[in-house]
């Protein structure tokens, strides 16, 4: 476990606003988005600049997930939605931003290059400000799993946030890939954030018929065509596909609004199953406890020390 300072126990927001201009992956429309500092205990809240109050505010919460086809969409009680939120939320969460107002002038977050790296780079560049409120954490005490056919997702007890992801595609180019790693800002920035979203050329026609992937291009996604990478630059990582699935999961889990002290285990998991897991977790409150992040870490350290002392004595 990495060394923890007092500041790590406090909530953080951005030092300054950050502006992005891009295009929506599914709508294909130009998007202007600004990340702004927000007060403690705000969480992540989207503000649709193209709409009037009270219809314009969309809190990023697990209960507000309204669609999970190829991306995660959240909606408020008035039916206002924001889609493709997972890459941005993954960047904010993994970089340690607890509170942020997200102003966007349309219904979709810009896809940028198909990864979270453009968001991470700018967040790290402006830096964070600690706030006078403690970070809360959900500590997994008993395993919680959901399953759909041969796909499953779950949490198991663990002393810090970890990710254990396995994917298995019926494509010789991808096949079965697995990655297990601690989820902290450094690991996410260096090993996960640059992994891009991906798709298959044979699905493009169907997606466009459904009104999806209108903004898809080789500049913002990996395209697999006849079991070959169509992108001239190739892959950024040999196992970029499983890394991107971890990125997606980090973003989906960020909708819980607090840190998760435990290990996420995903096998062929996607946006829908990730959200089902959060719903199942919250409805099984005997399997977890809510506490401050400081207490969660201190308690685990005490348990570890007691276990070591017990083993030494025996």
Q: What is the pLDDT of residues 104-158, one digit of tens each?
A: 999 999 999 999 999 999 999 999 999 999 999 999 999 999 999 999 999 999 9
**Domain covering 10-313, topology:** lpxc deacetylase, domain 1 (3.30.1700)
Whether pLDDT at 283 is above 80? yes
Torsions phi, psi for 211 (to 5 deg): 80, 20
Percent of the chain with pLDDT over 90: 82
Is residue 32 very low, low, confident or very high in pLDDT (cuts 50, 70, 90)? very high
Q: What is the pLDDT of residues 169-227, one digit of tens each?
A: 999 999 999 999 999 999 999 999 999 999 888 766 655 565 656 778 899 999 999 88
Q: Are 215 and 207 in contact (CB under 8 A)?
A: no
Q: What is the pLDDT of residues 2-21, one digit of tens each?
A: 555 668 899 999 999 999 99
Looking at residue 314, its pLDDT comes to 46
Domain boundaries, the chain: 10-313
Q: pTM for the full model?
A: 0.92
Is 12 known as a binding-site position?
no
Whether pLDDT at 297 is above 90? no
Is 244 known as a binding-site position?
yes
Parallel, antiparallel or unpaired: strands 136-140 and 10-14: unpaired
Looking at residue 206, its pLDDT comes to 54
Residues 6+ apart with CB under 8 A from 282: 62, 256
Q: How many whole angstroms separate alpha carbon 110 and alpha carbon 46?
A: 13
**Which residues are designated catalytic?**
271
Is 248 known as a binding-site position?
yes
Looking at residue 310, its pLDDT comes to 39
Span 283-308, average pLDDT: 78
Looking at residue 178, its pLDDT comes to 98
Whether pLDDT at 168 is above 80? yes
Looking at residue 7, its pLDDT comes to 83
SS3 per residue for the chain: CCCCCHHHHEEEEECCCEEEEEEECCCCCEEEEEEEECCCCCCEEEEECCCCCCCCEEECCHHHEEECCCCCEEECCCCCEEECCHHHHHHHHHCCCCEEEEEECCCECECCCCCCHHHHHHHHHHCEEEEEEECEEEEECCCEEEEECCEEEEEECCCCCEEEEEEECCCCCCCEEEEEEECCHHHHHHHHCCCCCEEEHHHHHHHHHCCCCCCCCCCCCEEEECCEECCCCCCCCCCHHHHHHHHHHHHHHHHHCCEEECEEEEECCCHHHHHHHHHHHHHCHHHEEEEEHHHHHHHHHHHHHHHHHHHHHC
Q: What is the pLDDT of residues 66-76, one digit of tens each?
A: 999 989 999 99
């Amino acid at each position: 476990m990495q060394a923890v300072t007092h500041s790590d126990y406090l909530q953080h927001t951005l030092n300054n606003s950050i502006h992005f201009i891009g295009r929506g992956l599914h709508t294909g429309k130009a998007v202007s988005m600004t990340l702004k500092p927000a007060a403690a205990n705000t969480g992540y809240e989207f503000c649709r600049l193209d709409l009037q109050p009270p219809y314009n505010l969309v809190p990023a919460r697990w209960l507000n997930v309204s669609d999970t086809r190829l991306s995660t969409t959240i909606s408020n009680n008035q039916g206002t939605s924001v889609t493709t939120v997972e890459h941005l939320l993954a960047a904010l969460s993994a970089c340690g931003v607890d509170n942020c107002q997200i102003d966007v002038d349309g219904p979709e977050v810009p896809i940028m290059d198909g990864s979270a790296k453009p968001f991470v780079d700018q967040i790290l560049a402006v830096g964070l400000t600690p706030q006078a409120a403690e970070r809360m954490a959900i500590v997994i005490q008993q395993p919680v799993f959901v399953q759909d056919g041969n796909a499953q997702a779950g949490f198991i007890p663990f002393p810090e946030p970890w990710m254990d992801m396995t994917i298995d595609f019926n494509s010789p180019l991808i096949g079965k890939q697995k990655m297990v790693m601690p989820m902290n800002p450094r690991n996410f920035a260096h090993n996960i954030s640059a992994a891009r979203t991906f798709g298959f050329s044979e699905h493009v026609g169907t997606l466009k018929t459904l009104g999806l992937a209108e903004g898809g291009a080789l500049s913002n996604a990996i395209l697999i065509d006849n079991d070959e990478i169509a992108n001239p630059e190739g892959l950024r990582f040999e196992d970029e596909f499983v890394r991107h699935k971890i990125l997606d999961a980090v973003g989906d889990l960020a909708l819980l609004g607090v840190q998760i002290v435990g290990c996420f285990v995903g096998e062929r998991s996607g946006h829908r199953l990730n959200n089902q897991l959060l719903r199942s977790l919250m409805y099984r409150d005997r399997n977890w406890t809510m506490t401050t992040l400081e207490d969660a870490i201190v308690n685990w350290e005490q348990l570890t020390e007691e276990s070591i002392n017990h083993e030494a004595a025996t």
